[in-house]
Amino acid sequence: MTMKKPDGRPLPRPTTIPYVAQWSGERDLTPLVVARGPGIAYRMGEEVPQDRYDGVLWARRSFDQGKGTARLAYTHPQRQRRAMAKLLCQVCAKPASRTKDGVLWLVEDDRGAWPDWPEGLATAHPPLCVPCAGTSLDECHHWLREKAVVVRSRASQVSGVLGAPYQLQGSVLVPQKVRMVRYDDPAIAWTLARQLVRTLYDCTLLDPAVLAA
């Protein structure tokens, strides 16, 4: 079935593959996860310093950007983390747009979730530059399914990860459903991270039409 835009027009082929997108030729290199101390780790001798960020264990994937076909529904853990940590555009990897109103983000429209939404919103979507944000709204399957809004945030903080917390069931370590886990949640020590999360503050909500201006 061919996906279509909300107005019925056929969905165009993407003209740009996002920097954070995973490619089919990029292999999952994640070692076996074991319980060690108050949390999880890779087996002795298999973990390297780059496997952790802010003390949290991360999934591994090979760096073969452009090899095979783009898997647009999936992100590369380390490229997503770099874009989110350094506030780079998730599409072109250049610095995200920043004005007096703050850094540019596209987020799902969830107005009504709480009184001052999107203040305090936690997101795993890295920011964007203006040209790439416009392209994303026009071509990205995700934003064509989910109504998007434009947010400018003057302040943000890396606050957690998106990943699978593990639980010990007897002597067996069992992964749970992927969810956002904050750094102040005890489950963070048991979580295998795949995306970095930022919480947005001092936000200004804008109409997507501003991207065409």
Res. 16 pLDDT band, cuts 50 70 90 = confident
**Single pTM value for the model:** 0.90
The contacts of residue 9 (CB under 8 Å, 6+ apart) are: none
pLDDT for position 139: 82
CA–CA dist 189, 204 (Å, integer): 34
Using the predicted structure, report yes or no on whether residue 4 has a pLDDT greater than 60.
no
Count CA atoms closer than 13 A to 179's CA, side-chain side: 12
Confidence of residue 7 (pLDDT cuts 50, 70, 90): low
Which is more confident, 22 or 16? 22
Q: 3-state DSSP call for residue 203? A: strand
Q: What is the pLDDT of residues 121-154, one digit of tens each?
A: 999 999 999 999 999 888 887 766 668 899 999 9
Of 84 and 7, more confident? 84
Task: State yes or no: pLDDT of 2 exceeds 50.
Answer: no
Using a 10 angstrom Cβ sphere, with 0-12 exposed, 13-18 middle and 19 or more buried, the burial of residue 171 is exposed
Q: What is the pLDDT of residue 100?
A: 96
pLDDT of residue 8: 54
Mean pLDDT in the chain?
Answer: 91
pLDDT digits (tens, 9 = 90+) for 160-184: 999 999 999 988 999 999 999 999 9
* Phi-psi sector, 209: left (phi>0), alpha (psi -120 to 50), beta: alpha
Whether the CB-CB separation of 26 and 63 falls below 8 Å is answered with yes
Residue 10 pLDDT more than 70?
A: no
CA distance 192 to 161: 9
pLDDT band at 209 (very low <50, low <70, confident <90, very high): confident
Distance between CA atoms of 138 and 57, rounded to whole angstroms?
Answer: 35
Model confidence band, residue 3 (pLDDT cutoffs 50, 70, 90): very low
How many angstroms separate the first and last alpha carbons of the chain? 34
Rounded-to-integer distance, Cα 12 and Cα 166, Å: 40
Look at residue 111 and give its three-state secondary structure: coil
Question: Residue 199: what pLDDT?
Answer: 98
User: Token pair 């999880």 is at which residue?
Assistant: 40
Q: What was the pLDDT predicted at 13? A: 58
155 vs 3 pLDDT, higher one = 155
Predicted confidence (pLDDT) per residue in 52-106, tens digit:
999 999 999 999 999 999 999 999 999 999 999 999 999 999 999 999 999 999 9
Secondary structure letter of residue 197 according to DSSP: E
Give which of 158, 203, 202 is closest to 181, Cα–Cα.
158
